[in-house]
Amino acid sequence: MTVGIDPHSGFCGGVIRAISTAEEFLDAGAGRLYSLGAIVHNEEELARLESRGLVTLDKDDLASPAEGETLLIRAHGEPPQVYERLRQSGIRVIDCTCPVVLGLQKKIREAHARVAPAGGQVVLFGKIGHPEVLGLVGQVREGGVIVVENVEQLQERLGDGSIRPDHDIELFSQTTMSPEGYVAVRTSLQAAMRGATLTVHDTICQQVASRHRELQEFARSHDVVIFVSGRESSNGKVLCELCRRVNPRTWHIGYADELQRDWFHPDDRVGVCGATSTPKWLLEEVAGAIKNLH
């Protein structure tokens, strides 16, 4: 049995930047560091950082940091209201919002300003409730962005009048969504338009889009695929399903202890890969554990 690690798997640039910034702060001994939400959707990596002193908060815990303490905004970004609340509380902010996400936030504000006065709409292909999506939707007034997760939800919004195809629409995607899914939503919405203009913005992160193509080839070239990611990783769920469509012998785990011996045959070519939130060290740990199964 041979075991190979996908060279393209591992943290994306935005996550690397956020984690490196947190580590530098903690190494400097500059005081307690809070993170607004999990800095990465991977339980193993989060535990490692918390063991070094990172304190993870949700929005309901924002009263915890005292005036003058430091809070990190993770790569997903936040809406303007959060920054204002932190400013009023006197909390120091280290902003690690991914530059790609920052650019998308700006584009959504500009698109809303263009189309809303004439009754047009901004539609976002994304996962409802995802931290990045909450930050994107929060860039404009409540109800200013309509979020759909798939073609079925798009058709529902068209059917109930939430999306009005007789007015101009600007369509965006969350940065980590499936390129194939975005094409399907775009095609369906284009077919529904009635005398108005649909403007489609290419806002899926290019690193994520490349990962889809590379991962399909990686899954095809192995007999068994072990996909490693946190259970809360939206990107992980999308990429694991992508592997499974190409290779039915795809197994999703969070850490090495979840491996099962009966998934493997002695002559298998095993591929280990992961999400943009999966650390390289965890992929290496899983690959080592597989080699020790037989």
Q: Which residues of 19-31 are buried (b: 16+ CB within 10 A; e: fewer)?
A: bebbeebbeeeee
Q: What are 49's two structure tokens?
A: 């950082």
Active site residue 217: no
Which residues does 21 contact at the CB level (< 8 Å), separation at least 6? 72, 94, 96
Give the best-scoring range by mean pLDDT among 3-12, 61-70, 117-126: 117-126
Catalytic residue among 45, 132, 149, 170: 132
Domains of the chain, each with CATH number or no CATH: 2-9+206-291 (3.40.1010.20), 13-98 (3.40.50.11270), 100-200 (3.40.1010.20)
Task: Give the residues across from 202 on adjacent strands.
Answer: none
Mean pLDDT over each residue of the chain, to the nearest integer: 94
Binned at pLDDT 50, 70 and 90, residue 294 comes out as low
Please say if the pLDDT value at position 238 is more than 90: no
Percent of the chain's residues with pLDDT above 70: 100
Please say if the pLDDT value at position 105 is more than 80: yes
Q: What is the pLDDT of residue 92?
A: 96
Mean pLDDT of 157-177: 97
Specify the range with the lowest mean pLDDT, choosing from 5-9, 29-33, 170-174, 255-259.
29-33
CA–CA separation, 45 and 226 (whole Å):
18
Binned at pLDDT 50, 70 and 90, residue 235 comes out as confident
Q: What is the pLDDT of residue 233?
A: 85
CA–CA separation, 233 and 253 (whole Å):
12
Mean pLDDT of 73-83: 95
Percent of the chain's residues with pLDDT above 90: 85
